[in-house]
Amino acid sequence: MLAGMVLATMDGGKGLIADHKAAAARAGIEVRYDTPVIEILQYADSSVHGVVVKQKDGEPQKIISKGGVVLAAGGFEANPRMRSEFLGPGWDLASVRGTPYNTGDLLNMAINQLGAKPAGNWSGCHSTCWDANAPYEAGDQVLTNQFTKSGYPLGLMFNADGDRFVDEGIDMRNFTYAKFGREILKQPGAIAFQVWDADGAKWLRKEEYAADVVERVTADTIEELAKKLEVEALASPKRFVKSIQEYNDAVAAHREENPNVQFDPSVKDGLSTRSSNGGLQLDKTNWALPIVKAPFLAVKITTGITFTFGGLKVEPQTSAVISQQTNTVIPGLWVAGEMVGGVCCTFSLSRLYPQY
């Protein structure tokens, strides 16, 4: 099984990968690191029988397989050029949440060299709100998912112009985090700020917002918070302050008309910014807590890309790769994992959650 450098980029000997490595050792499988595949070998009848790798000393080496080759090298989420080409403008600015080695090299090789048939949503990916101060090119193997910033339903999100750009309370977090992650890239500078007051901040998960994980910007007034965020690329502090004032006024108007509606983060509670007198240009539909109690907290975020949806067409029964020329399997070539096209985007997202 040839997996590029995937095994070298995961959890360094813990958990799932440790189990994989132990199974490989029991089966007598050699695992090589820093040994990229540079060519896939085919016989004249197009059957795949091995690869050429680049060894640590820079010299190429042929590895011949008796049974064939299994590609399992992930998508192209760690390749800024391919992200911009297939996902669209701005995606080269996204931060990589996981391995830096999923650069699409073997996807390109299979398609361009072997004529493998592309499949799946090549303009789609999974993403989320991500710490703007996290590493850009790769995730952290120790902190892992702690750079995720999913506490926005309890507060507000502003772009660098000081404007809200999503309804933070439109649905439960599980149904909006990927969508909102994408929206951040459309904002000036591909950044945003999440904001809470003291009451909202106490609901935040320690795993995502503890001071040893994220850079917390705190202040005793909204004006002071805006001044501090100006250093963090907030271009319009006055608009930011005005937006929060308008939001608080709308929250108060709704609560005056609906005194029996109570805050409940476990359900869509109906606490909003819409009253009989109107509301905001962009209302918050649920969990509209006022931003009034000091200390106030803000966190700078960006988009973190998890994985891409584009991959290769396979025979469902065997995961053998399909040729785009013959529409039949390429003998001796299989694909596994993220390189399989049409799995996540067609089932997990678009069917279960149409809003994606």
The tokens of 135 are what?
Answer: 């590493």
DSSP output for 19-81? HHHHHHHHTT----SS--EEEEEE-TTS-EEEEEEE-TTS-EEEEE-SS-EEE----STT-HH
* Residues in Cβ contact with 97 at an 8 Å cutoff, skipping those fewer than 6 apart: 77, 128, 130, 139, 145, 147, 304, 305, 306
Beta bridge partners of 39: 52
Rounded-to-integer distance, Cα 155 and Cα 355, Å: 21
What string of pLDDT tens digits covers the 356 residues of the chain?
333 333 333 344 457 888 988 999 999 988 999 999 999 999 999 999 999 999 999 999 999 998 899 999 999 999 999 999 999 999 999 999 999 999 999 999 999 999 999 999 999 999 999 999 999 999 988 888 899 999 999 999 999 999 999 999 999 999 999 999 999 999 999 999 999 999 999 999 999 999 998 999 999 999 999 999 999 999 999 999 999 999 999 999 999 999 999 999 999 999 999 999 899 999 999 999 999 999 999 999 999 999 999 999 999 999 999 999 999 999 999 999 999 998 875 444 444 444 43
CATH topology of domain 127-303: Flavocytochrome C3; Chain A, domain 1 (3.90.700)
Contact 35, 56 (CB under 8 A): yes
SS3 320: strand
Domain 6-83+99-123+309-349 sits in CATH 3.40.50.720: no
Rounded-to-integer distance, Cα 53 and Cα 110, Å: 15
Rounded-to-integer distance, Cα 300 and Cα 298, Å: 7
**Domain coordinates in residue numbering, the chain:** 6-83+99-123+309-349, 127-303
Instruction: State the number of CA atoms in the 13 A half-sphere of 328 facing the CB.
Output: 5
Beta bridge partners of 85: none
The tokens of 100 are what?
Answer: 């830096």
The tokens of 11 are what?
Answer: 């959890």
SS3 318: coil
Rounded-to-integer distance, Cα 352 and Cα 40, Å: 37
Rounded-to-integer distance, Cα 255 and Cα 275, Å: 9
pLDDT for res 354 = 46
SS3 288: coil
DSSP output for 99-166? -TT--SHHHHHHHHTT-BPEES-TT-EEEEEEETTS-SSS--TTTGGGGB---GGGSEEE-TTS-B-S
DSSP output for 183-246? HHTTSGGG-EEEEE-HHHHTTS-HHHH-TTTS--EEESSHHHHHHHHHHTT-S-HHHHHHHHHH
